[in-house]
Amino acid sequence: MKQKIGIGNILESAFPPRSTGNISDSSSSLPGGGLSPTTLLETFVPGYGAIHKFLLFSFGFDVTVLVSLGVVLWLSGRIFRSVWTVIYATVASNYMAEITVSSTDEIHAHLIAFLAHQYKINSSRRLMAETPSKSAWELDNEDTETPETTVDAEGNIKWLNFSNQEAKSQPRFTPAIGSHNFWHKGTYFQLRRKEVAMFDELGGGAAAFKDKELLTLSCFGRSTEPIKKLIQHAKAHYHLGHNAKTVIKRPAPKDMRRFGGRGSWVKIAERPCRPMKTVVLDEERKMDVLADINEYLNPATARWYANRGIPYRRGYLFYGPPGTGKTSLTFALAGVFGLDIHVVSLLEPTLTEEELGMLFTNLPARCIVLLEDIDTAGLIREPISDKVEVKKGDEEGEGKRRGEDWNVVDLTKALKKANQLSEEEKKKGISLSGLLNIIDGVASHEGRVLVMTTNHPEKLDEALIRPGRVDHQVAFGNATQLQVNELFERMYTNDLPRTKLIISHPSSSSPTITGTTNEKDVFTPPLTPVKSTANGIAYGTASGSAKGAVVVANGKVEKMKDEELGAEELREIAGRFAEQVPDDMFSPAEIQGFLLKRKKDPRRAVMEVGSWVEGMKEVKRRGGKVVTVQ
């Protein structure tokens, strides 16, 4: 028989089996004649026999024992995992409740913010780091040192520098994509965060995949109640820090608004509430609007409207010259009533009537809708001409004029022209009838406060401002001397102590996620509406200061002396300032602009206002737009 020459045989001759000692080869076959693990491994793993023998004879170590143990453990692991998957799937489908939240809904943002806060204190090993985008307000509310402009020995200003601002900002940590577990208020939750690609038709035949995120929260039990409570808690947590702010929303980009729902509106900004007292307006007018909206928003009023079959809607028209406080009052109202502002520009070229209608139906139950400058919106449309323009000398055209039949070329041209016109039409915006329908058509949203502003009320169509569409009109005008006085006092009044508008979260060393939001540690509520007093308006502490400021006056850099103005003195110089400004000549925005340039120097403002008034009078007389005095 021909002998096989293999590495096994060579090793066998090199390392003959030991006859003594306690080392025994785990024989190739078992006593009963069955297959031993070594034989099996030799059969399936090429070269195993040689390695086995080498280790056995060199070190007296039977590697088969180790390999067998490994295989057994691996198999047990697989079996356990399969069994666990089946058990888990059974438990999950029968004894676990879950709620899924999509990133297209704002609850997603609330949950992520809540989890980010919780994960700051949790020792999770899988986190996602994000650089949160912060507004100037939020940065101001952080515990950062307020930098001060200073002047060096040679009189050079040391300019503020924010170059490494991003690097300094604290990252936000949220649970990474995948599964996480956590405890909250004694309940065990599972969180699955995953990204899904969404096929999105962009219109015009184009399409793209977009990432959408899904958050699935689950807990043991057959009720989703604990998850609902958690979501409610996350929402409350989110709003704790935002109650003192006004959220401004605008229509989402075209491709997002197609899906409708709350995703049709996107938050574009969040600002500290504007205190009502900072809007300089006749007190009676201000109180009228406040009382009217307060009455309208009362839940009992909705019932009252319903019982009488009156649509539950209220519209306001704020009209007056530019810079007289129309937008400012809207923001202040939003702060007082804690409403979000939904701003719509009728000039938005991509906005069609249908979409505007859809946007209105997706408004929250109570909110302010701000339609600015309604007179400038393309409300008046030229009717589409059904005639085809004919060039002089165009033979086919001439033929048509002579009443001859249309040919294919004519028809194509006509269709093209009609299409072009309708495209232009679309760009023109919303038609008046479309807008009227949206404001109070049968399908129009109820519960919202609609504020329309205009600089030219005379240009508005009567139908637009008839009762039912506009229920309350407020006239804004240039500043009276009393209002100028008020603006001056407001400008130089001491700042209120810096209030934290962002919630400061208590730290905790707890390794589990627990509800740690301290409800006391919340926010300063927006300042309440003012009351008319017989003596007019007197807000805040009437004393001014200009500490450590740097001013550039007459081309010279000066470090201002710390200056405190007593209440009496401030009132006195405010009076002197107001005396020099003629009644109803300048808008509050113009006065504010003048004062802002001298914001640390009230006396200089009093000194320079006379020449500013003269210069501005001249500019206005000439009808110029570029100011020569500032």
Ligand X SMILES: Nc1ncnc2c1ncn2[C@@H]1O[C@H](COP(=O)(O)OP(=O)(O)OP(=O)(O)O)[C@@H](O)[C@H]1O
Q: How far is CA 51 from the centre of its chain?
A: 65
275 binds ligand X (CB under 6 A): no
**Which residues fall within 8 angstroms of residue 621, CB to CB, at 6 or more apart?**
none
Are the C-beta atoms of 246 and 219 separated by less than 8 Å? no
Figure out which of the listed residues 107, 234, 248, 281 binds ligand X, where binding follows CB under 6 A: 281
Taking the C-alpha atoms of residue 37 and residue 65, their distance in angstroms, rounded to an integer, is: 9
Nearer to ligand X, 333 or 436 (CB): 333
* Piece of 139-147, 148-156, 323-331, 529-537 that binds ligand X (CB under 6 A): 323-331
Any contact of residue 585 with ligand X (CB under 6 A)? no
CA dist., res. 236 & res. 403, Å (int): 73
End-to-end CA separation in angstroms for the chain: 114
| CB nearer ligand X, residue 218 or residue 324 | 324
Closest contact distance (angstroms) between CB of 453 and ligand X is 6
Q: Indicate the length of the chain as a whole number.
A: 630
CB of 328 to ligand X, least distance (A): 3
> Rule CB under 6 A: is residue 347 a binding residue for ligand X?
no
- Give the Cβ contact number of residue 579 at 10 Å: 14
Report the residue number, 360 or 476, with the smaller CB distance to ligand X.
476
Residue among 55 and 589 whose Cβ is closer to ligand X: 589
Q: Of the ranges 300-308, 317-325, 544-552, 618-626, which one interacts with ligand X (CB under 6 A)?
A: 317-325
Q: Which of 175, 226, 588, 602 binds ligand X (CB under 6 A)?
A: 588
Q: Mark residues 386-425: x for contact with ligand X by CB under 6 A, - for none.
A: ----------------------------------------
480: contact with ligand X by CB under 6 A = no
Q: How far is the CB of 540 from ligand X (least distance, A)?
A: 14
Q: CA gyration radius for the chain?
A: 38
Q: How far is the CB of 457 from ligand X (least distance, A)?
A: 12
Cα 183 to Cα 511: distance, rounded to the nearest angstrom: 10
Nearer residue to ligand X within complex by CB, 321 or 397: 321
Tell me how far apart the alpha carbons of residues 583 and 209 are, in angstroms, rounded to a whole number: 60
Nearest distance in Å: CB 223, ligand X: 50
Residue 566: closest CA among 594, 527, 602, 609 = 602
Binds ligand X (CB under 6 A): choice among 322, 511, 525, 624: 322
| Residue 212, strand partner residues | 196
Q: Which is nearer to ligand X, 357 or 602 (CB)?
A: 602
- Which residue of the chain is nearest ligand X when measured via CB? 325
Q: For residues 30 and 33, what is the distance between their CA atoms, to the nearest angstrom?
A: 5
Positions of E strands within 146-224: 150-151, 157-158, 172-175, 178-184, 187-203, 206-220
Of residues 513 and 537, the one with the C-beta less far from ligand X: 537
Q: What type of residue is 116?
A: A
Map 503-543 to HEC letters: CCCCCCCCCCCCCCCCCCCCCCCCCCCCCCECCECCCCCCC
Q: Is 243 exposed, middle or buried (0-12, 13-18, 19+ CB in 10 A)?
A: middle
Pick the closer one to ligand X by CB: 122 or 483. Answer: 483
β-strand 187-203 against 206-220: which pairing, if any?
Answer: antiparallel
Q: Tell me: does residue 455 bind ligand X (CB under 6 A).
A: yes
323 binds ligand X (CB under 6 A): yes
Residue bearing tokens 């109803």: 584
Of 41-49, 98-106, 321-329, 411-419: span binding ligand X (CB under 6 A): 321-329
Residue located via tokens 């991003």 = 166
Report the distance separating Cα 489 and Cα 542, nearest Å.
Answer: 7
Whole-angstrom CA distances from 323 to 47, 228, 592 are 89, 46, 10
What is the DSSP secondary structure assignment for residue 275, as one 8-state letter?
Answer: P
Task: Record the tokens describing residue 96, joined without a space.
Answer: 């676990």
Cβ closer to ligand X: 57 or 492? Answer: 492
Minimum distance from CB of 278 to ligand X (Å)? 6
CB of 370 to ligand X, least distance (A): 10
Among the candidate windows 56-64, 324-332, 378-386, 606-614, which touches ligand X by CB under 6 A?
A: 324-332
548: left (phi over 0), alpha (psi -120 to 50) or beta: left
**Segment holding 552, helix H or strand E:** strand 550-553
CA-nearest of 576, 563, 567 to 539 is 567
Given the rule CB under 6 A, which of 197-205, 525-533, 574-582, 588-596 is the region that contacts ligand X?
588-596
In the bound state with ligand X, the residue whose beta carbon lies nearer, of 337 and 594, is 594
Q: Which of residues 57-86 bind ligand X (CB under 6 A)?
A: none
Figure out which of the listed residues 327, 362, 444, 478 binds ligand X, where binding follows CB under 6 A. Answer: 327
Cβ proximity to ligand X, 320 vs 434, nearer residue: 320
Nearer Cβ to ligand X (357/588): 588
Enumerate residues 138-177 that contact ligand X by CB under 6 A: none
The count of residues interacting with ligand X (CB under 6 A) is 17
Candidates 158-166, 309-317, 528-536, 586-594; binding stretch for ligand X (CB under 6 A):
586-594
| Closest to ligand X by CB, 593 or 615 | 593
Region of 23-31, 181-189, 417-425, 584-592 interacting with ligand X (CB under 6 A)? 584-592
* Nearest distance, CB of residue 627 and ligand X, angstroms: 15
Q: Tell me the closest approach of the beta carbon of residue 588 to ligand X, in angstroms.
A: 3
Residue 328 touching ligand X (CB under 6 A) = yes
Q: Which member of 67, 589, 627, 629 binds ligand X (CB under 6 A)?
A: 589
Q: Of 216-224, 587-595, 599-607, 613-621, which part binds ligand X (CB under 6 A)?
A: 587-595
Could you tell me which residues come within 8 angstroms of residue 554 by beta carbon, excluding any fewer than 6 positions away? none
What the block records as the tokens of 65 is: 């024992």
- The reply on whether position 493 binds ligand X by CB under 6 A is no
Contact, 476 vs 447, CB < 8 A? no
User: Among residues 119 and 476, whose Cβ is nearest to ligand X?
Assistant: 476
Neighbours of 4 (CB within 10 A): 7
Least distance between ligand X and beta carbon 315 (Å): 17
Q: Count each helix (H run) and each strand (E run) in the chain, helices first.
A: 20, 19
Please state the three-class secondary structure of 223-236 as a single string.
CCHHHHHHHHHHHH
Residues 6+ apart with CB under 8 A from 406: 400, 414
Of 581, 592, 595, 598, the one binding ligand X by CB under 6 A: 592
Binding of residue 326 to ligand X (CB under 6 A): yes
Question: Which parts of this chain interact with ligand X (CB under 6 A)?
Answer: 278-281, 322-328, 453, 455, 476, 588-589, 592
